[in-house]
Amino acid sequence: MSVIRTIAIVILSISFALFVALFGRLPIFRRTPVAFLHRLLWKHIPNGFIAVDDRVTDRRITRSLARTGDYLMNEAHPLVLIFFVLLQVISELLFIPAAWGRLSTSQIVALPPLVLAPLVFLYLSTTTSSNITAQNHRSSMLAYPYDYALFHPGYFCSTCRHAKPPRSKHCSLCKACVQKQDHHCIWINNCVGRNNYLWFNLLLVSIAVLLAYGAILGYLVLDAQLQQRFVPAALTKGSLTAKRWSTTMTWSDFANCWAWVISREWRIGAVMMLAVMSCPLAVAFLIYHVYLLWAGMTTNESAKWGEWKEDIADGMAYRAEMRRIRESYPPLPEDVEPREEQVRWPAGVRAKWWMIRTKNGKPPMKKIVGEASHTDPDQPKEEPDERWVKVKSIAEVENLYDLGFWDNLVDGLFNRG
């Protein structure tokens, strides 16, 4: 029993630590224990280790680990991808041969597609690039309109040396700007973006289904083993109702029976436990990306909206009607800011407001020159620009890329470059 408990605690701890590491920076977890644990994991513990190493080895260990960490975190490498594939393949090699003789025909028939689907979608997610190149830059510029909140025209990537298309982001690991960049996923050694978002979501679905099926299948096989051990068929022969092996058992006895069968069938038991404890994490990933589709956002944009929410709460956000701002700021050249009619996005769905942040929370100023200044005509005067209105709530801000769940789903999964 203690061995099973130890395995369960280890797997659950790894799953939780992975969840904190990957999701701890999301806006939804700010000012929560998850955010604190993320800072503890990525900031406080490393800083404490550096302080100790500085005294003991003059940072020799830290420098060595820094080089390794720089490679792992700042270079595109297949190590996690290889681990991911090996974990699935080894688990299947342990589980399937051990359970094969006790599976029904329908259970066996379901195995090949469930086993192959994650590998196929993993391959497609890994090999499909959403990088912006000289050849597809123009089409990337026309895929989405600028919303003048998260994305403004006129910005150039300092590395790629081209105008940044709406919803794009430069990835330091891929060393390229990525169309509709969601995030860089270490599990696929690639950025999740416009071209592989469909494959990535199908990967999440297939992994969640495979883990759930493996957990259920393992339970059925081991439960049948317990039934045969404690209530042989000969004992219930002629009975109208089959007696369950767990009937009248205490929770302690129930746990001990499962510990016994898992230790006896350790290949099936270990994989079943891994599936049971990993499935919630896979489902959480899937639910989060369904939420992003529902909200018309990417992971990158979700973080940006979180920053806007804090700036609005601090009273530093202002907006102005686009038609009034255009009086002072006409559109940029077409290669930097495409005309509205050129953008392949639903007609009429364009930015109506221009969003800005101010450093001190005061509204933008405008200069009054000449007679209107009511002072020295040669001395310009500054006064608040009445076109800019303070934003009091994030509810006042429109997400231009949210077309409703169905249209968001179609765009997110099938609008590929």
How confident is the prediction for the chain on average, in pLDDT?
87
Residue identified by tokens 């259920």 is: 216
How confident is the model over 388-413, as a mean pLDDT? 93
Cβ-based burial of 381 (10 A; exposed 0-12, middle 13-18, buried ≥19) = middle
Give one DSSP letter per residue of 216-238, joined into a string. Answer: HHHHHHHHHHHHHHHS-GGGGTT
pLDDT surpassing 70 at residue 374: no
In Å, how far from its chain's centre is CA 338?
30
Which stretch of DSSP H or E encloses residue 129? none
Helix, coil or strand: residue 409:
helix
Q: How confident is the model at residue 53 (pLDDT cuts 50, 70, 90)?
A: confident
Check: CB of residue 320 under 8 Å from CB of residue 353: yes
pLDDT surpassing 80 at residue 280: yes
Tokens of 196: 């592989």
Catalytic residue among 160, 171, 185, 191: 185
Helix, coil or strand: residue 166:
coil
Sequence-separated (6 or more) residues with CB below 8 Å from residue 220: none
Instruction: Please give the pLDDT value at position 338.
Output: 93
Taking the C-alpha atoms of residue 121 and residue 207, their distance in angstroms, rounded to an integer, is: 10
pLDDT surpassing 90 at residue 78: no
Taking the C-alpha atoms of residue 188 and residue 207, their distance in angstroms, rounded to an integer, is: 13
Instruction: Please give the pLDDT value at position 372.
Output: 52
Out of 37-41, 305-309, 412-416, pick the least confident: 37-41
For 333-348, what is each residue's pLDDT tens digit? 998 999 989 999 998 8
Instruction: Please give the pLDDT value at position 336.
Output: 92
pLDDT surpassing 90 at residue 320: yes
Check: CB of residue 124 under 8 Å from CB of residue 196: yes
For 204-244, what is each residue's pLDDT tens digit? 999 999 999 999 999 999 999 988 888 876 555 555 456 77
Q: How large is the greatest C-alpha to C-alpha distance in the chain, in angstroms?
A: 110
Instruction: Please give the pLDDT value at position 365.
Output: 83
Q: How confident is the model at residue 378 (pLDDT cuts 50, 70, 90)?
A: low
Tokens of 145: 């309109």
For the question of residue 177 being annotated catalytic, the response is: no
Beta-strand pair 365-368/381-384: antiparallel
- Alpha helix positions (H), 30-184: 33-39, 45-56, 60-74, 79-99, 105-127, 137-143
pLDDT surpassing 90 at residue 63: no
For 139-198, what is each residue's pLDDT tens digit? 999 999 999 999 999 999 999 999 999 999 999 889 999 999 999 998 899 999 999 999
Count of positions (residues) in the chain: 417
Tokens of 170: 């430069």
